[in-house]
Amino acid sequence: MKLFRDPAALRHWQRQEGGSLAFVPTMGNLHEGHLSLVRLARSRADRVLASIYVNPLQFGPEEDFARYPRTPAEDLLKLRESGCHAVFLPEDAVMYQGDRADRCTILPPPGLAGGLCGAFRPGHFSGVCTVVLKLLHMATPDLLVLGEKDYQQYRILERMARDLDLPVHVLAGPTRREADGLALSSRNGLLPPELRPMAPLLAAQLRELATLPEGGEAREAASLGMQNLQDAGFKMDYLELCDSDSLAPLARIQPGARWLAAGRLGGVRLIDNMVVA
């Protein structure tokens, strides 16, 4: 497995190796969800490149950038064992030319980024779009592989690639979960031990909502679900039923729509989503 810190060396490797390249961007502290994306990428391309970069541009001033878990040695071992062919580990100076991060931003696609997480994390998706666009230019992959757990992010990046005519296909892998249903996330390890047993209630509530009959009133169901989670100790940001493509809120439950939710438990922000059967 090759390790790159310089974009020029990465591009040289890409030209020399040839063949199709799938790219899995991450912020490290890897878990089975990330590794499943690497395996999916291996099934779709000749080579797989992963990146590990905790992007400061997508964290707000009161968010958890400083304490976001960083485990590069363990991450590299996991990627090697999963069959990844190369890893890109850039420094801030490489990604943003020193202190220029706040002067180098890409606006996220309108309509997709204004609600849900975009309403509660101002500037977050500008940071996501900026870093992923820069990584795509550096890596020049044929395939960008993302996880469905961050569903709004996946749709935004898919739309960005289409709007900017980027020569990359965007593919989403399914959400991976713990045995108790909690969606795998690098932030799960930050949960206080005494609150960890409550965390799967977010997935359980979404699962219940996803089985409600077609035609039901979505806002009423969402309100009841929000109250259930708040009673259990969550500080909810949102719980909404949205169109799976446009992310527009829906008034009535319909097959193929998607329930999306975000809330804090013990100061740790958890997100999840489930599709209506």
Q: Per residue in 184-216, pLDDT tens?
A: 999 999 999 999 999 999 999 999 999 999 999
Answer yes or no: 137 catalytic: no
User: What does the alpha-carbon distance between residue 31 and residue 107 come to, in Å, rounded to a whole number?
Assistant: 30
> How confident is residue 1, by pLDDT bands cut at 50, 70 and 90?
very high
The predicted structure's pLDDT at residue 184 = 98
Global pTM reads: 0.96
Of the residues 31, 34, 124, 137, only one is catalytic, namely 34
The predicted structure's pLDDT at residue 110 = 87
The predicted structure's pLDDT at residue 168 = 98
| DSSP bridge pairs for 171 | 145
Q: Please count the CA atoms within 13 angstroms of the CA of 177 that sit on its side-chain side.
A: 18
DSSP string, 185-247: -GGGGGS-TTTGGGTTHHHHHHHHHHTSPTT-BHHHHHHHHHHHHHHTT-EEEEEEEE-TTT-
Q: What is the CATH number of domain 2-173?
A: 3.40.50.620
The predicted structure's pLDDT at residue 107 = 87
Average pLDDT, integer, range 160-175: 97
Q: What is the mean pLDDT of the chain?
A: 96
Query: Do 223 and 240 meet the contact criterion of CB atoms below 8 Å apart?
Result: no
Whole-number percent of the chain with pLDDT over 70: 98
Q: Return residue ranges of the chain for CATH 3.30.1300.10.
A: 186-275
Tokens at 67, concatenated: 């304490």
Fold of 186-275: Pantoate--beta-alanine Ligase; Chain: A,domain 2 (3.30.1300)
User: What does the alpha-carbon distance between residue 21 and residue 58 come to, in Å, rounded to a whole number?
Assistant: 26
